[in-house]
Amino acid sequence: MKPFLAPGFTFVSSPTLPPDLYVGLMSGTSMDGVDAVLVDFGAAPMRLLAHVHHAFAAELRAELLRLNASGTDELHRAAVVSQHLARSYASAVEDLLLHADVDAAQVHAIGAHGQTVRHRPDAGYTLQLNAPAALAELTQIDVIADFRSRDVAAGGQGAPLVPAFHAALFASNEPRAVVNIGGISNLTGLPPRGSSDAVVGFDCGPGNVLMDAWALEHLGEPIDRDGRWAAGGTVRQPLLDVLLAEPYLALPPPKSTGRDLFNVAWLRQRLALLGDAVDPHDVMATLTRFTAMAIGRAIQAHFPQATDVALCGGGARNPTLMKMLAEELAPRAVCASDDLGVAAEHVEAIAFAWLARAFNARRAGNLPSVTGAEGMRVLGALYPA
Ligand SMILES: Nc1ncnc2c1ncn2[C@@H]1O[C@H](COP(=O)(O)OP(=O)(O)O)[C@@H](O)[C@H]1O
Ligand SMILES: [Mg+2]
């Protein structure tokens, strides 16, 4: 096996332990594509062997976006697009194993999150499109999928699921917040190591989802790359006030959200409440500030003791957002998770490799203090190779 240390990953493996390999596949609400990681949990501490990101083809992304709202023949379309997803995941796994020079037979399992198109714990369900049987067939590796529904069945939100992993990876001697900025942003509040306090966690609100939607509409690009457009705009207070009035932001946890709430229609309704049209450039600046403020307020309200804040997910690659976050979170130290040894784009995918391994050990993966579930539960379902 050829070791491959991805940038920002500084862990050193122990040569004495046998490899314990898992693949994690994460495709989040940004719908930008899939992040795939190969992790060796036999090393102490765990070691990242490879990472690949496969962007979704434009048609796949467009169909996934359409399936976030009800439409004609959606059951058929969801089933068909799930097969496309499985092929896209399988191709990422193939590429990943090639990079690491590892055979499929050496991998214990793939943890495949799937693509959320509806998140309605209030109605008793959360739906991640996936075709795990096809993925097992294509890769000849055990697939563990459908991580969220058991927590929902136990009365929980089914989200966020990453706080247990954040606790295992990032707990420190001081209270620390970890914020994943994907399409939606979610907070993990980590009490100091050794404390008996419960881990705090919930979805703060929008992550990149509104900024991405606005970039697509006005720049014809899927993202405001490096936050450049936002950086030159002006934050408009009346618009910011209307956005901040969203009741979700003030709800007490446990809570979780998705594109079901934060989407272009939501934004348009709020723009329409304003008397004067706002320059699209200024809308982008305001959306970026709003995203930072929603995260800042979540920390202030539910984990104010945080002395530092680590950011992961693609939002950590937007310097304008990072600058605004540093302002909102001052005087706390703000960094990207890279500074703690794990690159921002690897964290969530590693979490699903970790959850797959927890499933194989029949260990619980949820934190009831976060999701509100009645108790700890083993998460996922197995599709053997
Ligand atoms: N260079 C960048 N500049 C601005 N935004 C970025 C950059 N790189 C990534 N992003 C943002 O990160 C998103 C992808 O983040 P990701 O963590 O994969 O989210 P998800 O888990 O929802 O898929 C992109 O849609 C984009 O909004
Ligand atoms: Mg993504």
Q: 311 phi and psi, to 5 degrees? A: -110, 135
Q: Work out which ligand 1 atom sits closest to the CA atom of 26.
A: 21
Beta strands at 33-40 and 47-55: parallel, antiparallel or unpaired: antiparallel
Structure tokens at 303: 């984990």
* CA-312 nearest atom, ligand 1: 17
Say what the pLDDT of residue 275 is. 85
Residues whose beta carbon lies within 6 Å of some atom of ligand 1: 28-30, 32, 182-183, 208, 212, 223-227, 313-315, 317-318, 348
pLDDT per residue, tens digit, the chain (385 aa), is 333 444 444 444 445 578 999 999 999 999 999 999 999 999 989 999 999 999 999 999 999 999 999 999 999 999 999 999 999 999 999 999 999 999 999 999 999 999 999 999 999 999 999 999 999 999 999 999 999 999 999 999 999 999 999 999 999 999 999 999 999 999 999 999 999 999 999 999 999 999 999 999 999 999 999 999 999 999 999 999 999 999 999 999 999 999 999 999 999 999 999 988 999 999 999 999 999 999 999 999 999 999 999 999 999 999 999 999 999 999 999 999 999 999 999 999 999 999 999 999 999 999 999 999 999 999 999 999 9
CA of 315 to the centre of ligand 1 (A): 5
Closest residue to atom 1 of ligand 1, CA basis: 226
pLDDT at 142: 98
Task: Report the b/e string of 115-126 with b at 16+ CB within 10 A.
Answer: bbbbbebeeeeb
Distance CA 336, CA 343 (A): 8
Rounded Cα gap, residues 32 and 317, in angstroms: 14
CA of 313 to the centre of ligand 1 (A): 7
pLDDT at position 16, please? 59
Closest ligand by atom to 116 CA: 1
Q: Are 22 and 110 in contact (CB under 8 A)?
A: yes
Separation of CA 35 and ligand 2 centre (Å): 6
Backbone angles phi, psi at 205, to 5 degrees: 155, -145
Q: Nearest C-alpha to atom 21 of ligand 1 is from which residue?
A: 28
pLDDT at res. 349: 98
What span, in angstroms and rounded, lies between the C-alpha atoms of 79 and 86?
Answer: 11
Helix (H, G, I), strand (E, B) or coil at 380: coil
Distance 314 CA to ligand 1 centre (A): 3
Task: Starting from the CA of residue 182, give the closest ligand.
Answer: 1
Q: What is the 30 CA–ligand 1 centroid distance (Å)? A: 7
Residue 206: name the closest of 282, 121, 313 by CA: 313
Closest residue CA from atom 13 of ligand 1: 314
Give the 3-state secondary structure of 305-368.
CCCEEEEECHHHHCHHHHHHHHHHHCCCEEEEHHHHCCCCCCHHHHHHHHHHHHHHCCCCCCCH
d(CA 292, ligand 1 centre) in Å? 15
- The residue type found at 85 is L
Q: Looking at residue 15, what is its pLDDT? A: 53
pLDDT of residue 17: 73
Q: Which atom of ligand 1 is nearest to the CA of 224?
A: 4
So what's the pLDDT on residue 4? 40
Counting from 1 in the atom list of ligand 1, the atom nearest the Cα of 225 is: 3
